Structure 1
């Protein structure tokens, strides 16, 4: 019998090695800089508007341009991982958004800024799905949701650090200095990724046609393997090929995929609406700048903290039930937040933290759900399309809430209105879980032939 490595389930029965942890850390750093760059503009936009004498209405396109770019990156570029590999897309996407952030330091007008933010978003959208896919592929199934949530905590930490850095640098060095930090920091990790970030094993064995390199990576996961190169095989169903939209729709059914996209769109719409307009709403209520930054950051910190609970819950108790419960709790927190806007500051901050547990935590958990649900051969494209379709909500959310702000809706009324869609998301997730249980026998099919 020929010795070798069969990739299907290879990492599932083994302890997580230092090599795997290093891969997750690098992917987490990519997500950190993604979050920093995505959120920084929300803190800078009011200062840019004041500096250039712009009206508040102009902020909407500035907020949304990077989200449009993200959608393009997710929908158009993430499927290219099948041709070029996840590693190349992560590195190329990081280089692109670092370069455009650097050019933004010298931006001179709204049109230029919108275009640069659009291109920055494309780079971010190319890197993130492949970072998620690499993390999921190099971690055991029993820990997959927790590890994906962990790198998305890097995304949220980037949001928090963007607020801290903006609050520190803008008063002393101006808003352009934040773009400079957002450019130079990711440039530092590009050499590290070139040296240490591994390629997808499935890609190397299938489309990449480099099984010897794949075996060397397998030995870094399991040093007990023989030092002499051995055959590496992957199930034909996982080997991939060009991933088309119909493959995503066939995975679990058209209805399930579309409903998952709806939940992504609603959740991301609420998330980006809060991140974009909460600073403006709190400023209009007369809160000090320090309180505004802290409150906005706490909506993200809440998502990070709850990830420590919901990740293990998804791995051990079930992904759909855990996420559905989180959305129910999030809807309740949104609905009862109104009085906190006229309460002592500590109560406002506590309310923003709890809102973040549902909205920001729900965003991370959705990414983990997609990484768990989609099989390895379509994981990057599946996550990319879910995020891409979700960005339709991310684009519309700030515009809809901006219209409510312009119509003199109170923050309490806006938060109450946002609780309804969150509750709908909870119902949809629980329904998707029931459908998944009904079709679970599909996963019990006999193993496909190896290639």
Structure 2
């Protein structure tokens, strides 16, 4: 059987695309999370409570999850550009509409539709990044692309929100201002990003179109493209799916509830809250740069386990820390560094190294989708219920539970890093040389 071949993309094109995908994903994070640091201000105007906050976060996560699954598959079938460009334009428009919302019902509707567009952008952007990346820096590129979600949304977002509130007439204007960059990035995606270059090769008795990443021998299906159900034959997919649910439970509980925890439970000011909460974004940004890059050298499984252990320890200390802004910032930074740093591995790198190349966006969509439905949908709503009925401080116990689940599941991951597979340091997933066959392109 002939091995699929492709035309090589230039390094310059690789970096342009990775940076555009990073900018786009960063704006997804900004438009999604800008609402949480402004919620203490919005509560009075719109007569909202903690349960409403949890539900607003949850409805976006649920629709994001469903459409990540749907649109991931469609982008494999119809192309990346047809998903990426409309989705970034639409979620920018919906950010503007968020600022026009007059109550809970309109907010829920607008944020649900925003989840559709952002859920569509997510798996397609992950697939594009994987397709243009050389093997030796695939982990780093996937981390870079996803790191901006937290940097923009949870790092710069609280600072932008709390500072803009000092200069604009009302909170409504903040949503309109942060929407503008999305239109600019959408234009550059239209001008720069091409569909993956393919060549036709013979596989068995039929011709198969090969994307930039080639399928591993274990994943390849002679005689045609692999079916959707094939992604579940690989042990790592199920493990990553449920481990991501645990990690995202921690991330979304902290992202949605921690700002109000700081102002309402620890009695810190809004400005102090903005400074401390930004640690989530900055910690996640550096974690998503460092941890996936380290996994290129030391292995996906080893690095993921170490990062989850770090997260568990830091979060445990954080829960017992009082109203000390610098200590809270440092502990929150390290918690996000470990937890968010693993997201590109669980939802991106390990995933695309475990399935046939024609299904990488489908697999990423399924894992991101399920993680979003539970971590981004169910968990914030549950956290809102806990905060309203048992005290907002107890929502942090839910975050701890998510990390414990993620850590336990990651113990059973099979290594996929090409460097580790070639070195023969760990048995290949499912008894096959999975990632060693993934080409640099």
| Structure showing the higher helix proportion among its residues | 1
- Does 1 or 2 have the higher relative contact order (CA < 8 Å, sep 6+)? 2
Change (3 A) 1:240 1:37: farther
Change (3 A) 1:306 1:56: closer
In 2: Cα distance, 1:307 partner to 1:325 partner: 14
- Give yes or no for the alignment of 1:171 onto 2:166: yes
Q: What is the DSSP-based 3-state SS (H/G/I as helix, E as strand, rest coil) of the residue aligned with 2:405?
A: helix
1:111 Cα deviation (Å)?
Answer: 1.3
Q: Given that residues 83 and 120 in structure 2 are in contact (C-alpha distance below 8 angstroms), is that contact kept between their aligned partners in structure 1?
A: yes
> 300, 303, 308: which one pairs with 1:327?
308
> 238, 262, 272: which one pairs with 1:258?
238
User: Where do residues 66-77 of structure 1 align in structure 2 (5 Å cutoff)?
Assistant: 66-77=60-71
Q: What is the DSSP-based 3-state SS (H/G/I as helix, E as strand, rest coil) of the residue aligned with 2:67?
A: helix
Coordinate RMSD, CA, aligned:
3.3
1:189-240 CA distance string (max 9 Å, x none): 22211111121224x869xxxxxxx99x99xxxxxxxxxxxxxxx9994899
- Give yes or no for the alignment of 1:149 onto 2:139: no
Q: What is the DSSP-based 3-state SS (H/G/I as helix, E as strand, rest coil) of the residue aligned with 1:171?
A: coil
Aligned to 1:7: 5
Structure 1: runs of 5+ lacking an equivalent: 207-213, 219-233
Aligned to 2:190: 194
Aligned to 1:298: 279
Q: Given that residues 351 and 363 in structure 2 are in contact (C-alpha distance below 8 angstroms), is that contact kept between their aligned partners in structure 1?
A: yes
Q: Given that residues 320 and 429 in structure 1 are in contact (C-alpha distance below 8 angstroms), is that contact kept between their aligned partners in structure 2?
A: yes
In 2: Cα distance, 1:104 partner to 1:405 partner: 24
1:92 Cα deviation (Å)?
Answer: 1.6
TM-score (norm 2): 0.84
- Give yes or no for the alignment of 1:439 onto 2:434: no
1:280-330 CA distance string (max 9 Å, x none): 100012111122112111022112222332122211111111111111111
Change (3 A) 1:335 1:444: closer
1:417 Cα deviation (Å)?
Answer: 5.2
- Give yes or no for the alignment of 1:336 onto 2:317: yes
Q: What is the DSSP-based 3-state SS (H/G/I as helix, E as strand, rest coil) of the residue aligned with 2:427?
A: helix
- Give yes or no for the alignment of 1:357 onto 2:337: yes
1:100-125 CA distance string (max 9 Å, x none): 22333322232122111111111111
Aligned to 1:278: 258
- Give yes or no for the alignment of 1:247 onto 2:241: no
Q: Given that residues 327 and 358 in structure 1 are in contact (C-alpha distance below 8 angstroms), is that contact kept between their aligned partners in structure 2?
A: yes
Q: How many residues are paired up?
A: 414
1:145 Cα deviation (Å)?
Answer: 0.9
Q: Given that residues 143 and 293 in structure 2 are in contact (C-alpha distance below 8 angstroms), is that contact kept between their aligned partners in structure 1?
A: no
Structure 2: runs of 5+ lacking an equivalent: 202-208, 417-425
